[in-house]
Amino acid sequence: MSSEKTPENFWGDMPEEEYYTSQGVRNTKSFFETINGKLFTQSFLPLDLPIKGTVYMTHGYGSDTGWLFQKICINFCTWGYAVFAADLLGHGRSDGLRCYLGELEKVAATSLSFFASVRNSESYCHLPAFLFGESMGGLATMLMYFQSEPNTWTGLIFSAPLFVMPENMKPSKLRLFMYGLLFGMADTWATMPDNKMVGKAIKDPEKLKIIASNPRRYTGPPRVGTMRELARMCEYVQNNFSKVTVPFLTVHGTSDGVTCPTSSSLLYEKASSEDKTLKLYDGMYHSLIQGEPDENSQRVLDDMREWIDERVKRYG
One-letter amino acid for residue 119 of the chain: R
CA pair distance 259, 189, nearest whole angstrom:
23
Active site residue 256: yes
CA pair distance 311, 150, nearest whole angstrom:
18
CA pair distance 100, 121, nearest whole angstrom:
31
Sheet harboring 129-134: ordered strands across?
25-34, 37-46, 81-86, 53-58, 129-134, 155-159, 248-253, 276-281
Handedness of CA 148, 111, 140, 205 (dihedral sign): positive
Q: Which of 135, 263, 264, 297 is catalytic?
A: 135
Active site residue 59: no
Helix 69-78 with 294-315: angle, nearest 10 deg: 50
Q: Which of 64, 187, 204, 256 is catalytic?
A: 256
Question: Smallest Cα–Cα separation from 268: which of 161, 173, 183?
Answer: 161
CA pair distance 153, 130, nearest whole angstrom:
6
CB atoms within 10 A of CB 149: 8
The 3-state DSSP class for residue 194 equals coil
Active site residue 213: no
Q: Which of 204, 286, 287, 297 is catalytic?
A: 286
CA pair distance 292, 314, nearest whole angstrom:
31
Alpha helices in the chain (DSSP H): 16-22, 69-78, 104-119, 136-147, 173-180, 197-201, 205-212, 224-238, 262-270, 294-315
| Active site (catalytic) residues | 135, 256, 286
